[in-house]
Structure 1
Amino acid sequence: MTSSNENTTGVNRRDFLRVSALAGGGILLASYAQPLEAIERLGVGASAADPMLSAFIRITADNIVTITAKNPEIGQGIKTMLPMLIADELDVDWKNVRVEQADFDPNKYPAQVAGGSTATPTNWLPQRRVGAAGRAMIVAAAAKQWNVPVAELTTSKGVVTHAASGKNATYGALAATAATITPPDLATVPLKDPKQFTIIGKRTKTVNVKDILTGKPIFGIDVTVPNMHYATFVKSPVFAAKVKSANLDVITQQPGITHAFVVDGTTNLQGLMPGVAIVGKNWWMVQQARKKLVVEWAEHPTAQQSSAGFAAKAAEFFKSPAQRTIRNDGNFDEAIKSAAKVIEAEYSYPFIAHAPLEPQNCTAHVTADKCELWTTSQTPAGGRTLVANTLGLKEDQVILHMVRAGGGFGRRLYNDPLVEAAFIAREAKVPVKLLWTREEDMQHDMFRPGGFHTFTAGLDASGKLIAFRNHCATFGEGERFAPSAEMSPGEYPARFVPNLRMDVSVMPLGVPTGALRAPRSNALSFAFQGFIDECAIAAGKDPLQFRIDTLKAEIAPAQPLTPQQQAGQMDAQRVIGVLEMARDVSGWGKAKLPKGTGMGVAFYFSHRGYFAEVVQATVSKAGEVRVDKVWAVGDVGSEIINPNHAEQQVQGAVLDGLGQAYGQEITFSGGKADQGNFSPATTASGSPANFPLLRIKQAPPVVEVHWKKTTFAPTGIGEPAMPPLIPALIGAIHQATGKRVRQLPLSKTDLKWV
């Protein structure tokens, strides 16, 4: 056993265990804890001053262990991973473990959220501690019954053994006595040495995998409740425009339609928007009635915005001094004058949609004093607050049942479907299932914002990077950025170039934006890592070694960093570690590649995780791109809790990035999103307008995943594997063809996807 002094976040927390006896001889263990401080700053948890339950363990006389999974399950495997932490320290047999999904309850569970790759660092110690405490109490119960020292007892797979006497007993048989034992202090309870893990680090099947494979109704879209009606909510194509008129008299006369009404809505782009609600007895009838709906929308200023206008405004910014400078190290202007070589480039990337396969949905039942919701929200705490404020209820009058989601990628961080369903159910006075169409899901997203960058860099005679400037044209007003349109002053190569300036200019935006997998990093990585690649080529250096050499030239900060600043800062040595391992596993620079084939590399630090990726791609004479193989190397700490899910997360991130690189973009005309589905369509001008997903034939045959284990506490995987993929692909294309891609998606260039 080892001490539990390890702290994954640098935040002090106190944990307490409460114990209850169960009828029939069982025991219930519940851990009270203070949640991760970083989650609280996001506003998606409860007050850090309030203790609350973070884990439930129920052991019954038949030796079945039931563990409550508290976080939303959106396909990332958290419903399996969190119980694994408890079960391993409890030292039970995984085949005897049953997992139950918790409802949202801030009085019981801290930080019930799926986002930011926070689940692992938040729960690594607390969940293990409650399992270890449960084991300690079971062992103490056996020692009490057999009148032997605790030190003489061992456990394995839910059985306590006293080797000297030959006695043994299952946890279930000891549970009733364990319920009388005083709980240990969770802050000091001994934890397993990692060498003793029997579940953590082992490939473990997804909880409910059989239900998923056999089509059992376990997703939000499958929910049914008694007397349930179906609802659709039609919003203006121009975001937040109000209803001027609607032919409701026609709609209410359609077969099966029970209600049709106008919703005035609010000005909150992440809340209840204006629109028209239609409620009926089944989904088909509602959609048939919707086809007959005629709405005249009021004028709205966002109708003046367009993708062409955004690009023109960015070009205007780049001809003038930036609105503000967010970082200024050394003297860029003087250094660039003395540079032996100057490199300049412009990069841009588009708005994109989240496009989860399960469209947004929510089932709601509202009575005079209660609102009950069945939801796939990634942030149920925020959803409860939004619904309560909109309906004029107290927060404890809003009950959320958490249902498995068919993908999220950040879209379900936003709770507009919840407040729409709740409002419609209240007005219709019947339970309703609100289900968005694919077109609504795509055209009323919280889009990943696009952006524009100009870069200038200077190299000295030896090829060393001595000057670097970025001017970012993004969205916002004054010093306020639009959601997920921020530009960080710490973006690499900041800290590693003596003369560096980061400039920002912002333009107003009426389009709703938000976090998409690896928010900000997923876009900035393409631009910054792409340009770093250009600097390496201009210097005549190997792109991988150029990055390592730059990382070794870290500049000391002007002022000492606080512990919190240090905790959130990229560790150059960890980056070098994944780059060197990527070089080794991919055979970087060793293989003689055929003509038209190239290899590219990139790295990124995102959401506490470090990844370097190498892409090998072949480009035909016709410009057809085929990705041959991808090597991904990650440093997410000392343990890979479930290798199955971890590898799937990385491979999924790689495929996600490839799909975005190929042809995914959302463009705007007259304030409206042009794209509306995965299948081909055309805009009013006749140009193609679809949002293609990556096809199986386009996926690389192999995505090889490697882990660089370090001594750091484990962190999340959902986000950090995605950002390096696209710049590594761009580097491979350049090596194969000599062409430098500076604009996404690739479908806007002369390149094609096989």
Structure 2
Amino acid sequence: MMHAPSSLSRRRFLRTGATGGALLIGMSSGGALAALEDAAQADFTPNAFIRIARDGSVTLTSKQPEIGQGIKTSLPMVIAEELDVDWNSVRIVQGDLNPTAYGGQGAGGSTSTPNNYENLRRLGAAARAMLVQAAAQGWGVAPGECTTEGGAVLHAASKRRIAYGALVDSAARLPVPDAASVTLKDPASFRLLGTRVGGVDNGAIVVGKPLFGIDVQLPGMLHAVYAKCPVFGGKPLKANLDAVRALPGVKDAFIIDGTANLNGLRPGVAIVATSTWAAIRARRALEVEWDEGVGATHSWAGFTAQAKQAAGKPGTGVMRSDGDVDKAMAGAARTVEAAYSYPFISHASMEPQNCTAWSRPDGSLELWAPTQNPGAGQALVTSTFGIAKERITMHIIRSGGGFGRRLSSDFIVEAVAIAQRLKTSAPVKLTWTREDDLQHDHYRPGGFHFLRGGVDAQGKAVAWHNHFVTFANRVERDGQSILQPGSGGNLSGDEFPGRWVENCKLEQTALECRVPMGPWRAPGSCVFAWVFHSFIDELAHAAGRDPLAFRLELLGDKEVMAGTGERGQPYAVARMRAVLQTAAEKAGWGKKTFARGQGQGIAFHFSHRGYVAQVAEVTVSKDGKVKVDRVVVATDIGPQIVNLSGAENQVEGSVIDGMSTLMFPALDIENGRIVQSNFHDYPLLRIGDAPGRIEMHFVKSGHPVTGLGEPALPPLAPAVCNAIFAATGKRVRELPLSKTDLSWS
């Protein structure tokens, strides 16, 4: 079981940091570090991340939330590489939320690696330099004559070797060098980075040890469930609370007024009991009269009708307007018009949302949360309840899947609201059911794209027009009521092929809704890639061009395409050409003969600093069943793969996740309610539907190292749909795939 630390005090110690000589506050966290606290007086702790004991054992702190992306393994590998220690001697512990010591601690947007790689290298190198200096002083030689290997300092001339553990006392007395002055390893000499290393928690996971938020157990802990109005934005008017309180195991039941924030503490009814099962069973007897509010008028059918009406009018916002699209369309040799749409979908992470909160009589608060963004969670608690950040201790617990869902913190403030209402100061664990998770998610927004495009007599794209109809919530900002599109529901004027097509218009219309929305893996890109690269394929077909040649011509020969506007960013065209050509070459593009019902499709996309291209090969049976036989992936995420095993896992996971989302999930909205409730009516990919082969090729470049949790997902859907067209002649313009009849004869 996962228990509270034996002592609730937190002793801080000051150490000179590894980032520009700044001070870092190393705060001991719960679990393993707390146990080390008193015994570690003589340990070598040059900063908040590294602890070396006299026996040579090395403890590294992982500061980022682990949500299955492998960051708890890969970032400590960066430190271990520069520190030059044997990975088998390293123990990893999870750090609590402490931005003063650790800096940013969020896990989202594939930012963990690029935001930390360089600093963690220097942190490890600084500690290594101190150990070398300590050994050199003891031997009476120059530090430059010494090298390191496997947790020891070596002096080749005298054939002397001393383990780091024996240097703890002398190294601890040395000043920590300025991080900017330390010498980093030549990547050619890396022994650890770039190799395959299994996840540090893998052994515990496969035997079912309690690592996740849902596993937290504390002495005297109570358990809670929280019922919210099935219509988003609704609130409880009254409930049969006395009857519920009388049920076995129930300690209390009460209404929480909540706030108007759809992504924060929504109103609801809490039930607190002696066990999760007692709370869930009592909830089945709960009867609530709800004020459903205006959201009860919403439906997917209604949204679809509104989108079609909006399509015939100018967009309410113009993101890009280059040249004269109408004139170019009139003069084009061939034109194409198409409407693409996709539904709201859920994150459906394996572990439903949960949080354990302990509100104490002195006003302090301790939290155990499987969160992707502990800082934002802490901030939402502060703004909702007025608890100072300094009074909140946040333990970051491993998450059973995130995909962006745990960037939100609604489940955290719900747990806090319940804990504060308890008549006794006891920790309480809030656990959502699977139905809660599907019906009260912060969803990937649905969308509608109404496209027009034209090619000239030479088959070159000369016109592109996209009217994007998206979804937005009404929020109050700076005293004004505005419509704010959901995460990933806002079109940038620089979205490809904006900047590339001479006559290009990108416009957007937002439909107001009460559906809470949030980031979903590769926000925006996860659907934009499917729309844009499917329609590019349509233009290539209309032009009678090879899809690869058409794309290469569209990309052009520039090295970099400059960004434009407020949200614009440079686009490394050369990197994209390289991965596109690599994927095509490795897949044998244009060199294979496919029978009727079989085909090959290609797509690429720039997402979250990563450049990725994919080729998919499919077989479609005459009755329309699709089997993806092979996916070839080429990625450029910089010069160094940190953990090859983790990188392969991320690419394979992205392809499978992208395939699942393409084929199955869709949420229906009727009378303001999500219709689907569990996996029986919200299916995900089973192993029999997974691609037969996934091949990965990492194209190294001289650009900064970046992450891989998101970039490899967006190109999968268009590559597969373009392959389906090659196999059957049928275009997929609506998601999920089951909406399209793909049968052929």
TM-score when normalising by structure 2: 0.92
| Distance in 1 (alpha carbons) for counterparts of 2:716 and 2:156 | 54
Q: From 398, 407, 429, give the equivalent of 2:401.
A: 407
| Distance in 1 (alpha carbons) for counterparts of 2:229 and 2:440 | 9
**Contact in 1 for aligned 2:356/2:427 (Cα 8 Å):** yes
Deviation for aligned residue 1:555: 12
| Distance in 2 (alpha carbons) for counterparts of 1:17 and 1:710 | 34
SS at match of 2:100: coil
The match for 1:687 is none
Deviation for aligned residue 1:25: 4.0
Q: From 5, 25, 29, give the equivalent of 2:46.
A: 29
| Distance in 2 (alpha carbons) for counterparts of 1:526 and 1:23 | 54
Q: From 696, 710, 726, give the equivalent of 1:719.
A: 710
Deviation for aligned residue 1:488: 1.2
Amino acid aligned to 1:381: G
| Distance in 2 (alpha carbons) for counterparts of 1:375 and 1:187 | 35
Q: Does 1:519 align with 2:532?
A: no
SS at match of 1:107: helix
The match for 1:259 is 252
SS at match of 1:612: strand
Amino acid aligned to 1:720: P
Matches within 5 A, 1:586-605: 586-605=587-606
| Distance in 2 (alpha carbons) for counterparts of 1:284 and 1:198 | 49
| Distance in 1 (alpha carbons) for counterparts of 2:528 and 2:46 | 45
Amino acid aligned to 1:491: E
| Distance in 1 (alpha carbons) for counterparts of 2:54 and 2:23 | 21
The match for 2:328 is 335
Q: Does 1:612 align with 2:606?
A: no
Q: From 279, 293, 302, give the equivalent of 2:295.
A: 302
Q: Does 1:393 align with 2:410?
A: no
Matches within 5 A, 1:435-584: 435-476=431-472, 480-552=484-556, 568-584=569-585
The match for 1:380 is 374
**Contact in 2 for aligned 1:19/1:27 (Cα 8 Å):** no
Deviation for aligned residue 1:14: 3.7
**Contact in 2 for aligned 1:455/1:468 (Cα 8 Å):** yes
Deviation for aligned residue 1:564: 10
SS at match of 2:121: helix
| 506-515 or 158-167: bigger deviation | 158-167
| Distance in 2 (alpha carbons) for counterparts of 1:349 and 1:144 | 66
| Distance in 1 (alpha carbons) for counterparts of 2:360 and 2:579 | 55
| Distance in 2 (alpha carbons) for counterparts of 1:561 and 1:440 | 41
Deviation for aligned residue 1:505: 1.1
Q: Does 1:56 align with 2:33?
A: no
**Contact in 2 for aligned 1:662/1:745 (Cα 8 Å):** yes
Cα distance, 1:279–1:599 mapped onto 2, change above 3 Å: same
| Distance in 2 (alpha carbons) for counterparts of 1:191 and 1:555 | 29
Deviation for aligned residue 1:561: 5.9
Q: From 687, 692, 699, give the equivalent of 1:708.
A: 699
Deviation for aligned residue 1:240: 2.0
Amino acid aligned to 1:473: V
SS at match of 2:262: coil
Q: Does 1:735 align with 2:739?
A: no
**Contact in 2 for aligned 1:17/1:184 (Cα 8 Å):** no
**Contact in 2 for aligned 1:484/1:513 (Cα 8 Å):** no
Deviation for aligned residue 1:482: 3.0
| Distance in 2 (alpha carbons) for counterparts of 1:352 and 1:399 | 33
**Contact in 2 for aligned 1:468/1:497 (Cα 8 Å):** yes
SS at match of 2:272: strand
Cα distance, 1:14–1:185 mapped onto 2, change above 3 Å: closer
Cα distance, 1:297–1:564 mapped onto 2, change above 3 Å: closer
Deviation for aligned residue 1:565: 7.5
Cα distance, 1:161–1:17 mapped onto 2, change above 3 Å: farther
| Distance in 1 (alpha carbons) for counterparts of 2:560 and 2:330 | 24
**Contact in 1 for aligned 2:52/2:165 (Cα 8 Å):** yes
Give the superposed CA RMSD: 1.9
| Distance in 2 (alpha carbons) for counterparts of 1:569 and 1:199 | 32
**Contact in 2 for aligned 1:452/1:472 (Cα 8 Å):** yes
The match for 1:692 is 683
SS at match of 2:271: strand
SS at match of 2:711: coil
Q: From 423, 428, 444, give the equivalent of 2:417.
A: 423
The match for 1:103 is 96
Cα distance, 1:135–1:519 mapped onto 2, change above 3 Å: same
**Contact in 1 for aligned 2:634/2:696 (Cα 8 Å):** yes
**Contact in 1 for aligned 2:25/2:101 (Cα 8 Å):** no
Deviation per CA, 1:680-705: give whole Å up to 9, x if none. xxxxxxxxxx1111001111121111
Cα distance, 1:556–1:328 mapped onto 2, change above 3 Å: farther
Q: Does 1:433 align with 2:422?
A: no
**Contact in 1 for aligned 2:560/2:574 (Cα 8 Å):** no
SS at match of 1:108: helix
The match for 1:323 is 316
Q: Does 1:208 align with 2:201?
A: yes
| Distance in 2 (alpha carbons) for counterparts of 1:14 and 1:306 | 54
**Contact in 1 for aligned 2:559/2:572 (Cα 8 Å):** no
**Contact in 2 for aligned 1:24/1:60 (Cα 8 Å):** no
| Distance in 1 (alpha carbons) for counterparts of 2:539 and 2:86 | 54
Aligned positions, number = 704
**Contact in 2 for aligned 1:17/1:183 (Cα 8 Å):** no
Deviation for aligned residue 1:654: 0.7
| Distance in 2 (alpha carbons) for counterparts of 1:706 and 1:366 | 50
| Distance in 2 (alpha carbons) for counterparts of 1:554 and 1:143 | 52
The match for 2:340 is 347
SS at match of 1:58: strand
Amino acid aligned to 1:439: E
| Distance in 1 (alpha carbons) for counterparts of 2:679 and 2:572 | 40
Structure 1 residues without counterparts, runs of 5 or longer:
1-12, 31-54, 680-689
The match for 2:156 is 163
SS at match of 1:729: helix
Q: Does 1:364 align with 2:357?
A: yes
Deviation per CA, 1:351-400: give whole Å up to 9, x if none. 10000000001111111221111100101011111112222211111111
| Distance in 1 (alpha carbons) for counterparts of 2:541 and 2:601 | 12
Identity of matched residues, %: 47
The match for 2:62 is 69
| Distance in 2 (alpha carbons) for counterparts of 1:562 and 1:728 | 28
The match for 2:138 is 145
**Contact in 2 for aligned 1:17/1:130 (Cα 8 Å):** no
| Distance in 2 (alpha carbons) for counterparts of 1:105 and 1:19 | 8
SS at match of 2:181: coil
Amino acid aligned to 1:577: A
The match for 1:80 is 73
**Contact in 2 for aligned 1:365/1:372 (Cα 8 Å):** yes
Deviation per CA, 1:325-348: give whole Å up to 9, x if none. 110111212211111111111100
SS at match of 1:578: helix
| Distance in 1 (alpha carbons) for counterparts of 2:144 and 2:735 | 63
SS at match of 2:204: helix
Cα distance, 1:562–1:746 mapped onto 2, change above 3 Å: closer
**Contact in 2 for aligned 1:529/1:602 (Cα 8 Å):** yes
**Contact in 2 for aligned 1:496/1:554 (Cα 8 Å):** no
| Distance in 1 (alpha carbons) for counterparts of 2:122 and 2:625 | 53
